[in-house]
Structure 1
């Protein structure tokens, strides 16, 4: 597809650039789909972002529509060097660990959630879709065409913006290899489908372990002074929050102190859930914990839950909903 120009002699109309696009979200399924109309990618463990490139400015928007440009200066700087007049890139911001795997905890430290030695420059944006380019809205095009336009822009780059590689492979084998290498999972996408905001079957995610987000409604202090013993977690049920158990592992000694200090600033005497526990300290339900777990108990509690990171509930973090 030829890029559109701003000249009035163009036959093709210029599409107005959207101020914001609700992202396409993947539906969780148990196993990878089969067939030639599916392509696969690594499931990145980071923050979903849209990079808007416009004449004279770059905006970086979160999934919930918040402008976080200042939190990702290296991505914004690299976006200015892509050589396009206007574009919207869809992708994920991550920090890679020593094994080359995305690490959500390291990402939070890199943009200042907690004190850290991780530099902000370590954040990398893996672009996996192109929604707008030089005056043309690309969402109506099938994924294979959007990828064809995306790859020349970002493929082979080693800067802050890189290409999320697409894999044409057997889904079951790719999933097995991904889990064996300690990745979070994989994403499957229908190559002939246009871009559609919201959750649908055309994008699917298959995770190596169960992982969801739950509202932090309180904590239990550790027997070690100043440390965190256990997070108290809740899921959504209609308009209410329901207690689903706790999480007492997944953090270092340093992070335990940092989480305890953060939560102590949010203590409330009005619990968000109907729960009575002797040592519970209840907090305002404004933070969301990413939790990895094995299963649910018969009485509706998380089994073997392990903490992976926190998000702000205000940023449209997807809290697990009970049916």
Structure 2
């Protein structure tokens, strides 16, 4: 007759705690690292506009991407994709969401830009807008990819107080350089700033970004990140338009304004850059905003004024002596959720 198995002591004595045996003693010199709570949202670090690249070994450079600033939150409950203004756009970027699910990390917050690339690999804001169905559209973009350029939270640790070099080192392990997926690394470029800017302009890029290696991640526009543009591109309020019998959708010219304190100041107009699709969408929105009260002082005969609800991204070459835009071209409407900054006349 076989004996019954001997009960395990832990099951026999309810007063003894149930613990597994450690494989080896913990090294007392190894600290117990506390876990940081994951932020629900982080205000982005913004780049300060400068005319020339900063000099010195403490500065590194990247290409300036022309798209929508996003943060990708990888959380235990799932993925969240937030706009610069804090709006949840997870449903609008399904390919980026799926790519984030496959990243080898338990929890993270990636900072970057959603872009659509043209045939030469350049970011195209107009194509991104079209892929999302235009301003106020509800389409999901399967063409947009996420160019990651910073890592703010990583597996339980808030990295914002760490230097950029350390954050980038961890990011490059997570999103390797040279990838072709829907989340890609915005690579740092070791080069002279002036030469890199010249090369970027020669290849038709919008410009470059310079970042201070030793700086922590600080929300706002404080100067640790600097943008230098080949072609000026800024956001302006649409305050009216002029009709045309020959132009697309009858829009001969948009009338634009910039901010000066709490007021809007007329800075000229734009009559190029429209295509059949964005012109018809724009005309429909403008017709719904017509008003008899101009939001800015505009002395244009026959102008049709609209409420200052629409913000347009405008590319231009320079300013005239009387404060008007020169060689302006329409690129598209900014989304309200993008929290775009209207050009400020100092």
Moved more, 305-314 or 205-214: 305-314
Alignment of 1:106-125 (within 5 A): 106-113=127-134, 120-125=141-146
Q: Which is worse superposed, 136-145 or 72-81?
A: 72-81
Tell me which of 39, 50, 59 is aligned to 1:29: 50
Q: Do structure 1's residue 283 and structure 2's residue 306 form an aligned pair? A: yes
- 1:157 has 2:179 as partner: yes
Segments of 5+ residues of structure 2 without an aligned counterpart are 1-29
- Change beyond 3 A, Cα 1:315–1:246: same
Q: Aligned pair 1:52/2:70, yes or no? A: no
Instruction: Give CA deviations for 1:73-96 in whole Å, capped at 9, x if unaligned.
Output: 111111111121111000000000
SS at match of 1:201: coil
Q: Distance in 1 between matches of 2:336 and 2:294?
A: 17
2:98 to 71, 77, 81: 77
Q: Which residue of 2 aligns with 1:144?
A: 165
Q: Secondary structure at the match of 2:312?
A: strand
1:72 touches 1:111 (CA, 8 Å); kept in 2? no
The answer for the alignment partner of 1:6 in structure 2 is none
The equivalent residue for 1:61 is 82
Alpha-carbon distance in 1 for matches of 2:342, 2:135: 22
Counterpart of 2:62 (choices 16, 32, 41) is 41
Cα gap change, 1:313/1:274 in structure 2, threshold over 3 Å: closer, same or farther?
Answer: farther
Q: Deviation of residue 115 (structure 1)?
A: 12
For residue 215 of structure 1, report the CA deviation from its aligned partner.
0.6
Partner of 1:131: 152
The 1:44/1:204 distance shift into structure 2, 3 A limit, reads: same
Q: What is the rounded CA distance, in whole Å, between the counterparts of 2:337 and 2:105 in structure 1? A: 32
When normalised by structure 1's length, the TM-score is 0.92
Tell me the residue number matched to 1:294. 317
CA distance in 1, matches of 2:55, 2:135: 42
> How far did residue 119 of structure 1 move?
8.0
Q: CA deviation at 1:163?
A: 0.5
**Count of residues paired in the alignment:** 314
Q: Which residue of 2 aligns with 1:250?
A: 273
Measure the CA separation in 1 of the matches of 2:171 and 2:337: 31
**CA distance in 2: counterparts of 1:36 and 1:211, whole angstroms:** 28
The match for 2:19 is: none
Whole-Å separation in 1 of the counterparts to 2:303 and 2:132: 30
| 1:186 shift after superposition | 0.3
Q: 1:164 to 1:315 in 2, by over 3 A?
A: closer
Q: Aligned residue for 2:202?
A: 180
Q: Show structure 1 runs of 5+ residues with no match.
A: 1-8
1:46/1:102 contact within 8 Å kept: yes
- Return the offset for 1:10: 7.3
Cα RMSD (Å): 2.0
Bigger mean CA offset, 176-185 vs 281-290:
281-290
Report if the CA contact (8 A) 1:286-1:313 is conserved: no
**What is the Cα deviation at residue 138 of structure 1?**
0.4
